[in-house]
Structure 1
C-alpha cells in the first residue's frame, strides 16, 4: 500500500515539473497575473511533493536503539513542512501578487489562444496526476467510504498529492476563465481576481493538511473500526478484564498497541493442560507436593505466555497495520 503512495508522489513531481515549465513559458510571453499564479502554484507543488518524497524515504528506516518504534512519524513531519510551504509560498505569494496587480493594474495585451493552449495542456497533465493519486487512495481505502478514509486514515503524503492536484485542476480552470474574461472585457482586474481565488484555494487546502498532520504528530488513536476489532478479540480471550488499551498511529499503515489485562486466575487455571486429579494421586509426601507446585507454577506461566502470544498473533492477523503490540497481565 505504501508503494502506491510513493508512486503517486513521484508521478506528481514529474507531472508538475512539466506543467511548471509550460506555465512559466506562458507567463514569460503573456505577463498574465493568473498565469504567474499558476506558475507559482506548480513550483510550490514540485517543491512540496519533493519534501513528501524525502519524508517517505526517511520513514522507511528500520527501528534502532534510539528510535525503538522506528521512524514512521518522519512522514508526518515532512508532510507538515510541505503544508506550511503551500500556505506561505503557494497561498501567500499568489494572493500578494493578485492584490498587487489589482491595486496597480497594467494595460491589457492580447496574446491570442496561446495561454489557453498552455493551460489546457497543463490541465491534461494535472488531471492524469490527480487520477493516479485518487486511484492510490481508492485502493488503500478498499471498501471503506472514500471521504471518511481520506479524512481519518489515508497516508498524509497521498492525501497531500490528491488535494494539491485537485486544487491544481480547479486553479487551471479558474485561470482560463480569468484570462478569457480579461481578453473579452479588456479589464485586467479579472486576471488579478483569478490569482486571488487560486491563492485562497491553496490556503484552505494548506490549513486542512496542517491540521491533519498536527493530529498525527500529537498522537492519534487507531480508527474506530480497528479499535472495535481489537476489543472483540480481547473479549474472546479468557485472560480476564481489559483494564486499559492505548493505541497510536505511529506511521503510514503502522500501529502501536499496548493492552493491560487483569488476569482471572481461576479461568486461567481451568485451561491449563494438566489433570489435577492425576497429579494429586501422585503426591505421597512433601517432596512430591513441592515438585507438583513447581510444575504447576511453570505450566501456569507457560500457559499465560502462550495465551498472550496467541492473542497478539490474532490481533496482528486481524489488524495487519499493527507493527508493535504489548499485552501486559496484571
Structure 2
C-alpha cells in the first residue's frame, strides 16, 4: 500500500469526523438525545483514532537504531491496535452505558425536533464522502480480493481501519436516525435508547474485529502464498542454488519483509565465487518481491544420502557441511 493513499483516506476521515462531531454535540445540547450523544462521542473517538494512525505512520519512518536494528515499522501495527481499544472503550462501551441510562430514564425530544434528523442526514452525506475515499484508495491495491479477504490479509493497517470505522459510522448514523425518528413519532424515549444500544453493539463488534486482525500483525505474519512462491522461484531459478533446505519470512513492517533461508549450493572453488552467487540470488528475490528488503541466506552443501538416513524428508533433514563463514548468513544490503 502506498503511504500517500492511506494518508489521504485518513485525512479525509479526520476532517469529516471533526465536522460531524461538532454538529452532533450541538444537536445533543439542543435535544438531549442519547443517540446524538453516543454518535458525537463516536465521532470524537474516530477523530482521535485517525490522529493516532497519522502519528503511528510518522513514527514508523524513524531510522533503525542499535536497540531497534530492524527499525520501527511495526509502530503502525501498535497504533492500529490502540485504535481498536479506543473504539471499544470510548465508542462502544460509552454508547452501551448511555443506552442503559436512557432506558431507565426515557424521555422524548420535546424541543428543536428538526435538529437531530437534519444533523444525522447531513452527517450521513459527509461520512459517505469519507467512505468513498477509503474505498477508492483501497481499490488501488485490493485487486480481485473480496473486501473480507482484503481486511484480513492487508499488511498495512491504515486502510482496513478507516474502512471499518467509516462503515461503522455510516451504519451507526442509520441506527441513530432510526432511534431519533421513532422517538419523534411515538414520543417514547425508549426508541432513542434502543438506537443507542445498537450503536454500542456495532462499535464493540468492529473494535473486536480490528483487535483480532492487528493482534495477528503484531505477533508477526509471514509472506502470502503468492509471494512465497515468487521468492522460491527467484532462489532456485539460477545455477547458484540447488534447492531450498528451509525458509522463513516475517513482516518487520507493512512494507518490509524479512527473508531467512538455508540453501543448498554446489561446490565452489573460492569464497568469492560463493559470495557472488548469494548476491545474485538476493538481487532476484528483491526483483520478484520488492518488499523483501532484509535477506539472510545461509549456504550449505546439501547431501541427499544423509537426509535419507534421517526421517526421509530431504527438504527439512539435510545434513549440511558448513560453507565459508565469510559468506554464511550474509544480510541483504
TM-score class normalised by the smaller sequence: 0.7 to 0.9
Q: Does 1:303 align with 2:273?
A: yes
For structure 2, the residue ranges without an aligned partner over 5 or more in a row are 301-333
Report what 1:115 is aligned to. 116
1:297-326 Cα shifts (integer Å, max 9, x gaps): 3xxx22322222122111111111122112
Q: Indicate the SS of the match to 2:83.
A: helix
Report what 1:318 is aligned to. 288
Structure-2 separation of matches of 1:4 and 1:159? 12
Report what 2:328 is aligned to. none
Q: CA deviation at 1:145?
A: 4.2
Q: CA deviation at 1:245?
A: 1.0
> Do the aligned residues in 2 keep the contact of 1:87 with 1:206 (CA within 8 Å)?
yes
Structure-1 separation of matches of 2:98 and 2:254? 37
> Do the aligned residues in 2 keep the contact of 1:241 with 1:264 (CA within 8 Å)?
no
1:128-153 Cα shifts (integer Å, max 9, x gaps): 11111111221122444443222112
Report what 1:199 is aligned to. 200
> Do the aligned residues in 1 keep the contact of 2:32 with 2:109 (CA within 8 Å)?
no
Report what 2:318 is aligned to. none
Report what 2:220 is aligned to. 219
Bigger radius of gyration among the two: 1
Report what 1:290 is aligned to. none
1:167-196 Cα shifts (integer Å, max 9, x gaps): 001111111111111111111111101101
Alignment of 1:1-330 (within 5 A): 1-238=2-239, 239-265=241-267, 296-297=269-270, 301-330=271-300
Structure-2 separation of matches of 1:90 and 1:169? 14
CA RMSD after TM alignment: 1.5
> Do the aligned residues in 2 keep the contact of 1:137 with 1:154 (CA within 8 Å)?
no
Report what 1:277 is aligned to. none
> Do the aligned residues in 2 keep the contact of 1:257 with 1:325 (CA within 8 Å)?
yes
Deviating more after overlay: 230-239 vs 16-25: 230-239
TM-score (ref. length: structure 2): 0.86
Q: Indicate the SS of the match to 1:165.
A: helix
Q: CA deviation at 1:264?
A: 3.0
Select the structure that is richer in helix: 1
Report what 2:306 is aligned to. none
Q: CA deviation at 1:219?
A: 1.0
Structure-2 separation of matches of 1:141 and 1:313? 27
Deviating more after overlay: 96-105 vs 149-158: 149-158
> Do the aligned residues in 2 keep the contact of 1:27 with 1:35 (CA within 8 Å)?
yes
> Do the aligned residues in 2 keep the contact of 1:2 with 1:252 (CA within 8 Å)?
no
1:51-87 Cα shifts (integer Å, max 9, x gaps): 1111110011122222221100011111111110110
> Do the aligned residues in 1 keep the contact of 2:235 with 2:284 (CA within 8 Å)?
no
Q: CA deviation at 1:107?
A: 4.4
Q: Indicate the SS of the match to 1:260.
A: strand
Report what 1:287 is aligned to. none
